Structure formats: structure tokens, C-alpha cells
């Protein structure tokens, strides 16, 4: 405990980086999930094929492989295109950007299926009623589909978030000084890897427990609203 207290500021900073990666990745994954769900449910064949390809590829490739590809291959590809076209100079993808991009891309595929399933669960008659009232597609989505989609998707959304938090530990391979990276680095330097990794263990456990508590009350409120209580 004395060692952990001695390096408390570094460990806390690492935890804050982990939370920042998780929250930023979640926001990106929600955006990609909504776009992907629209593509999968769209009558446009091109959008449908692209959305299906996105979810198939992302869910079929290991997270760590995608992370390394984006961090190294993505940077190389962007710089090659910029050099060939002359549109931009050298671009360096930082650890944080690569981490958020990869995790957001991965969980965007899972969010796509979450939102798609929730939208399908909404009775078709409600859309038809909106059309009969003269509402546009955008207004139907905003006032009818989106609020109900959130209610239906919340349990699956909760699971995705809990897995996403744990996935942030993988970004340590990119050199981002988040919780896993600093715990391992300090532990190896002072020959106490077990002590600091135990701290990381409980830190992630606390984060997931707090998240579960928050989503428990959200799910409970959601059920009460759906029952008209």
C-alpha cells in the first residue's frame, strides 16, 4: 500500500486517461452505430452492403490486430496519400487518437446491431401513423423511433459499455500511459508487478461496479416509464 500511495498521482492520471479513452470511444461508437443501423435498414443497396461489410469485418478481426493496424498502417496510408496527392503534409496519429478511433470503430459495429435490433422491435404501425400525420422521415425518427429505440437498446447498450471499459486496457500496447500501462511500468521498475496490477484490477472493478449501478437505475427508470408508472 505504501508503494501505491507513493505513486498515487501517476496511477490516478492513468485512470483518468482510461476513462477519457472509454468515454470518447463510446461517443464515437454511438455515432457509428446509428449510421451503421441506418445503413443496415436502408433500402439503398450500397449503404446496406457497406454496413454489413463493416460489422462483418470488425467483429471478425481481433481488437488488438485492428488497433495495431490503425496505429501503424493508418498513419502510413494517410501519409502515402498525402504525399501522392500533395493535399497535406506529414500526419502523425497519436496514441490517444489511435486508441479512441480503434475502440470506437470496434464497438460501433456492436452498437450497430444493438440499435438495429431496437429499431426493428418498434411496431411498424407507429411509423405508418407518423406518415399518416404528415410527419417527415426525420421527424418520425426524432419523435417516434429514437426515444423508443433508446429504451429498448438500453440493456444491450449497458453490456457494450462494460466491455468497452475493459477493452481500454489493450491500448497500453500503443504506449498510451493509461491505467494498465502505468501499473505495469511502475511494477516492473520497482520489481513489484503484482502489487500495482492488483491496484489496476480493483480500479477497473470499481469503474465497472459504478457503471453497473448507474445503468441499473437507468434501466429501472426505463421499465417504470414503459409501464406508465
With CA atoms as reference, report the closest residue to 34 among 100, 97, 118.
118
Give residue 204's pLDDT.
Answer: 94
Q: Would you state the cell numbers that stand for residue 96, as one nine-digit string?
A: 490517444
Would you kindly state where each structural domain of the chain is located, as residue ranges?
A: 2-226
C-alpha cell recorded at residue 106: 470496434
pTM over 0.85, yes/no: yes
Q: Determine the Cα–Cα distance for residues 29 and 44; give it in Å rounded to an integer.
A: 22
* Average pLDDT over every residue of 20-39: 95
Q: What is the CATH number of domain 2-226?
A: 1.10.3720.10
Positive or negative torsion for Cα 97, 99, 105, 107: negative
Q: pLDDT tens for residues 141-185?
A: 888 888 888 888 888 999 999 999 999 999 998 888 899 999 999
Please state the rounded mean pLDDT for residues 2-26. 89
Helices (H), 69-145: 75-85, 95-121, 124-132, 137-140
Looking at 42-70, list the stretches that DSSP marks H as alpha helix, in order from N- to C-terminal side: 45-60, 63-68
Q: Would you state the pLDDT for residue 137? A: 79
C-alpha cell at 208: 465497472
The CA-atom distances, in angstroms, between 22 and each of 85, 117, 167 are: 35, 24, 9
Q: What is the pLDDT of residue 205?
A: 94
113-121 mean pLDDT: 92
Contacts of 39 (CB under 8 A, 6+ apart): 47, 48, 50, 51, 52, 54, 112
Q: Chain-centre distance of CA 151, in angstroms?
A: 19
Task: Give the three cell numbers for residue 161.
Answer: 459499455
Largest CA-CA distance found in the chain, in angstroms, rounded: 70
Give pLDDT, residue 228. 56
Amino acid at each position: 500500500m505504501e508503494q501505491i500511495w507513493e505513486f498515487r498521482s501517476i496511477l490516478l492520471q492513468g485512470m483518468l486517461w482510461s476513462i477519457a479513452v472509454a468515454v470518447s470511444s463510446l461517443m464515437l461508437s454511438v455515432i457509428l452505430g446509428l449510421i451503421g443501423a441506418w445503413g443496415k435498414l436502408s433500402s439503398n443497396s450500397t449503404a446496406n452492403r457497406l454496413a454489413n461489410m463493416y460489422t462483418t469485418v470488425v467483429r471478425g478481426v481481433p481488437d488488438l490486430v485492428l488497433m495495431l493496424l490503425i496505429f501503424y498502417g493508418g498513419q502510413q496510408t494517410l501519409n502515402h496519400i498525402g504525399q501522392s496527392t500533395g493535399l497535406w503534409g506529414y500526419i502523425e496519429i497519436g496514441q490517444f487518437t489511435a486508441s479512441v478511433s480503434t475502440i470506437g470503430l470496434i464497438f460501433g459495429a456492436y452498437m450497430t446491431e444493438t440499435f438495429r435490433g431496437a429499431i426493428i422491435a418498434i411496431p411498424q404501425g407507429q411509423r405508418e401513423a407518423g406518415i399518416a400525420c404528415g410527419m417527415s422521415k426525420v421527424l418520425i425518427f426524432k419523435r417516434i423511433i429514437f426515444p423508443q429505440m433508446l429504451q429498448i437498446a438500453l440493456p444491450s447498450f449497458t453490456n457494450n459499455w462494460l466491455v468497452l471499459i475493459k477493452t481500454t486496457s489493450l491500448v497500453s500496447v500503443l504506449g498510451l500511459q493509461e491505467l494498465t500501462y502505468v501499473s505495469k511500468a511502475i511494477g516492473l521498475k520497482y520489481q513489484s508487478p503484482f502489487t500495482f496490477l492488483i491496484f489496476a484490477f480493483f480500479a477497473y472493478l470499481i469503474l465497472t461496479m459504478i457503471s453497473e449501478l448507474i445503468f441499473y437505475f437507468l434501466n429501472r427508470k426505463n421499465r417504470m416509464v414503459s409501464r406508465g408508472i
